[in-house]
Structure 1
Amino acid sequence: MSPAIQRQAASSGSGSDTDPRYANVDERKRKRMISNRESARRSRMRKQKQVEDLVKETTQLQKENAQLGQQIEVSGLRFREIDSANNIMRAQAMELTDRLRSLNSVLEVVEAVSGFAVDIPEIPDCMLEPWKLPCPTMQLPIIASAAAGDALKY
């Protein structure tokens, strides 16, 4: 080969495999390529781990959300039960207050007809206005039995 052709081949890069000047460049290129591949692999692994972590977190949050939903449902049910019982108690308190007024009227009639002095108790304000609690004048025992519910019926 003529020297001009050799220079052209050397400058075109086809002879870089045999030229010791370019061996160092090829080695650096190969190392950079390996390093880039490793970096890309680590990046893919990081991304995969992030996705897995997000999936776990999503699953956990959905589980917590379902539990909170159940707690809200149970609390709502308990509220409705207590509200219903409260409404029943209000109605019973009004009924008992009316009965007490009626009995006091009967006692007034008995007092007027018989001439005997009858002690007619005043209706406490807490019976007339149950929202103004506590009621210090009323010291009635609370009966907690099934028979107590029957005693309030006519």
Structure 2
Amino acid sequence: MASTSNQSNRSTSSSEEEIVDERKRKRMISNRESARRSRQRKQQHLDELVNKAAHLKEENARITMQTNMIMERFLRLDSENAVLRAQLAELTGRLQSVNSVLRMVEEFSGVDMDIQEIPDPLMRPWQMCSAQPIIASSACMFE
């Protein structure tokens, strides 16, 4: 009778071992699959980050190029403005000289001359723009 119970214990323990082994095997397969999915997600995330970095580098290069172009245009316009300011100062001086000569002629000849006052562009800048014609600049203009 002892041998019968021993055999039944062995068969029970071997079937329990098989169940435990089967569970371990399933868990191992599940863990491998989970690790594979995790690696896949990490790789996908890395690919997205690499693509985003490349896109940001392209955008940065484009913005840098735009900034350089705007800076060049600003410097060109700033130098043109400096030339125009110098011309304005020179022409204002000439006009004042001519007006003073006309006033002297008016005093000595007795003929009334209509001498307009020199407009101050800083006092009424909104009127200054509409009174002056727009002239396109060219390279030969300053020679």
**2:68 pairs with 67, 73, 87, which one?**
73
Shift of residue 21, structure 1, vs aligned partner:
2.1
**1:133 pairs with 118, 121, 125, which one?**
125
Q: Choose between structure 1 and 2: higher helix proportion.
A: 2
Conserved in 2, the CA contact under 8 Å of 1:104 and 1:120?
yes
Corresponding residue for 1:46?
Answer: 41
**1:96 pairs with 81, 86, 91, which one?**
91
**1:22 pairs with 11, 14, 17, which one?**
17
Cα deviation per residue 1:99-126 (whole Å; 9 max; x = unaligned)?
1101101101211222211111111122
Corresponding residue for 1:61?
Answer: 56
Higher relative contact order (CA 8 A, sep 6+): 1
Equivalent residue pairs, number: 138
* Rounded Cα–Cα distance in structure 1 between residues aligned with 2:129 and 2:68: 40
Q: For residue 134 of structure 1, give the secondary structure of its aligned residue in structure 2.
A: helix
TM-score by length of 2: 0.82
* Rounded Cα–Cα distance in structure 1 between residues aligned with 2:102 and 2:135: 26
Where has structure 1 moved over 6 Å in runs of 4 or more? Answer: none
* Rounded Cα–Cα distance in structure 1 between residues aligned with 2:32 and 2:137: 79
Corresponding residue for 1:112?
Answer: 107
List runs of 5+ in structure 1 lacking aligned partners: none
List runs of 5+ in structure 2 lacking aligned partners: none
- Answer with 20-29 or 73-82: which moved more: 20-29
Code of the aligned partner of 1:64: E
Shift of residue 149, structure 1, vs aligned partner:
3.2
Residues 145 and 31 of structure 1, relative CA distance in 2, 3 Å threshold: closer
Task: Give me the CA root mean square deviation.
Answer: 2.9
Shift of residue 56, structure 1, vs aligned partner:
0.6
Conserved in 2, the CA contact under 8 Å of 1:124 and 1:137?
no
Cα deviation per residue 1:51-82 (whole Å; 9 max; x = unaligned)?
11111111111111111111111110010011
Residues 36 and 138 of structure 1, relative CA distance in 2, 3 Å threshold: closer
Residue 36 (structure 1) aligned with residue 31 (structure 2): yes
* Rounded Cα–Cα distance in structure 2 between residues aligned with 1:98 and 1:25: 106
Residue 122 (structure 1) aligned with residue 114 (structure 2): no
